[in-house]
Amino acid sequence: MANHGEKRWRLVLTASPLQGHMTPMLHLATFLHSKGFSITIAHSNLNPPDPSSHPGFTFVPLNDMSTVNTDFAGAGQFLKTLNDNCRPYFKEHLVDIMNAQKDAACEKETIVIIHDNLMSFAASVAGDLGLPAIILRTSSASTFPAMKIIPSLIQEGRFPVEDSMLQEIVQELHPLRYKDLPFINLPIQHALEVINMIIPKTPPVAILWNTLEFLEPSALAQIRDHYKVPIFTVGPLHKIIPAPSTSFYEEDTSCISWLDKQAPKSVIYVSLGSIAKVDDKVLTEMAWGLANSNQPFLWVVRPGSVKGFEWIEFLPEGLVHEMKLRGLIVKWAPQKEVLAHNAVGGFWSHCGWNSTLESMFEGVPMVCQPFELDQKINSRYLSCVWKMGLEIVVERKEIEGVIRRVLVGKEGEEMRQRGMEIKEKIRVAISHGGSSNNSLNEVVDFILSL
């Protein structure tokens, strides 16, 4: 389909080295490849994708020596280093392709850049070389109005706010409270730097957003009004097309046979994603809460995710023994498979956007423990708008109660019902004639029109 007569297309996709960004980008690449486009993946050499899983793609490593900074105060510096490091290699690669195409013997291809919004260097290189650039956004759309408003809140003296105001609703962003705003704990200058990087001044030719029309209509309307370029809602990308595993870590599949032995909807699955770090006191409260809830649990504790420790060696032996009686602790799980398992009745999550979409797709109610960025926004929407999540304070008694409310209480039953309604709407959206399915077909036509 991507060959119109003599014309051929090469899509250069620029993925960011974060799990929650790489996965949707590779799903998108797999879809576009299935439509006949040639695919190049330009990637940092930090957390590189595995070329053997995608034999049809060309991979271009961009020599980047940055390391993922999980301290949000350092997010601006991390993004700056990542972008500065990758830019020259990316430009050199594109110039090489373009020069080669001047050779009459070489096959001519129309080059289109599709980049992760954190990899903004790709847009500036595209601008330098006169190539069209499309952005893939992998966070919720509701993050956009919450970030866009921050510069004017700063001017009005409403950001950051006194602690006493944190629980108050930001009128323009109802139902978000000041405490739900991204970067509320960052110095103003840092917050503005990151916002400038994430919300580009020069609009791309189009934006693909890993969300669904019915989930975030008001945010999408604001985004369309702001950018005035086509906005394609293509989510959830992980369900659009099967793609090989893109996991940075080895998945412990033994948890699936453990789940097979548990009663339907009885297990709470706990995972805080691929980046978040907690301190040992928080993890200990989580452990006690899980142990005291008397419910079976599957808990992912990523090695290195507890500050100052390798794994869970600091938990008291008696507590670990107690926990093993009714739960399983693993280092990394095949999350999508876990959420699809009939034994799972709830997902205690940091509310990263991929985890949120994956849980929604399976209709699994959530316990929300957000850290930063869009996680706080997603958490608020899950509890107040989509009504399939409960926000949690990490304290053992509270945890114990919330787990029971989700797994065995009436509230949990209602959230599960709501989750099933959302699941059905997503199924319709990705089916033939549904909004996400149509959007993806429009993306193909749009690229062919460039």
Q: Output the smallest distance, CB 201 to ligand UDP, in A.
A: 25
Q: Output the smallest distance, CB 18 to ligand UDP, in A.
A: 6
Q: Output the smallest distance, CB 248 to ligand UDP, in A.
A: 8
* Coil, helix or strand at residue 346: strand
Query: Long-range contacts of range 215-221, CB-CB < 8 Å, 24 or more positions apart?
Result: 215/141, 215/386, 215/422, 216/140, 216/141, 216/142, 216/381, 218/145, 219/140, 219/141, 219/142, 219/143, 219/144, 219/145, 220/141
Question: Closer to ligand UDP at the Cβ: 42 or 298?
Answer: 298
Eight-state DSSP code of residue 172: G
* CA dihedral sign of residues 436, 426, 353, 333: negative
Structural contact between residues 305 and 278, judged by C-beta atoms closer than 8 angstroms: yes
Question: Closer to ligand UDP at the Cβ: 180 or 358?
Answer: 358
Question: Closer to ligand UDP at the Cβ: 134 or 333?
Answer: 333
Greatest CA separation found in the chain? 73
Ramachandran sector of residue 363 (left: φ over 0; alpha: ψ -120 to 50; beta: rest): left
Q: Output the smallest distance, CB 361 to ligand UDP, in A.
A: 11
* CA separation for the pair 351, 38 (Å, rounded): 34
Question: Closer to ligand UDP at the Cβ: 163 or 310?
Answer: 310
Q: Output the smallest distance, CB 364 to ligand UDP, in A.
A: 12
Residues in the chain: 450
Cβ contacts of 60 within 8 Å, gap of 6 or more: 12, 40, 41, 42, 43, 89, 93
Q: Output the smallest distance, CB 273 to ligand UDP, in A.
A: 3
Alpha helices in 230-279 (DSSP H): 237-240, 254-260
For every residue of 55-85, DSSP letters joined together read: TTSEEEEE---------GGGHHHHHHHHHHH
For every residue of 360-372, DSSP letters joined together read: HHHT--EEE---S
* CA separation for the pair 187, 179 (Å, rounded): 15
Question: Closer to ligand UDP at the Cβ: 111 or 330?
Answer: 330
Interface residues with ligand UDP (CB under 6 A) are 18-20, 23, 247, 271, 273-275, 300, 332-333, 335-336, 352-355, 358
Question: Closer to ligand UDP at the Cβ: 9 or 353?
Answer: 353
Q: Output the smallest distance, CB 20 to ligand UDP, in A.
A: 2
Q: Output the smallest distance, CB 352 to ligand UDP, in A.
A: 2
Question: Closer to ligand UDP at the Cβ: 193 or 358?
Answer: 358
Angle at 352 between CA 349 and CA 355, to 5 degrees: 65
Q: Output the smallest distance, CB 9 to ligand UDP, in A.
A: 28
Q: Output the smallest distance, CB 335 to ligand UDP, in A.
A: 3
* CA separation for the pair 87, 343 (Å, rounded): 46
* Coil, helix or strand at residue 300: strand
Question: Closer to ligand UDP at the Cβ: 126 or 382?
Answer: 382
Question: Closer to ligand UDP at the Cβ: 112 or 237?
Answer: 237
Structural contact between residues 251 and 181, judged by C-beta atoms closer than 8 angstroms: no
* CA separation for the pair 37, 29 (Å, rounded): 9
Q: Output the smallest distance, CB 68 to ligand UDP, in A.
A: 10
Question: Closer to ligand UDP at the Cβ: 72 or 178?
Answer: 72
Question: Closer to ligand UDP at the Cβ: 114 or 366?
Answer: 366
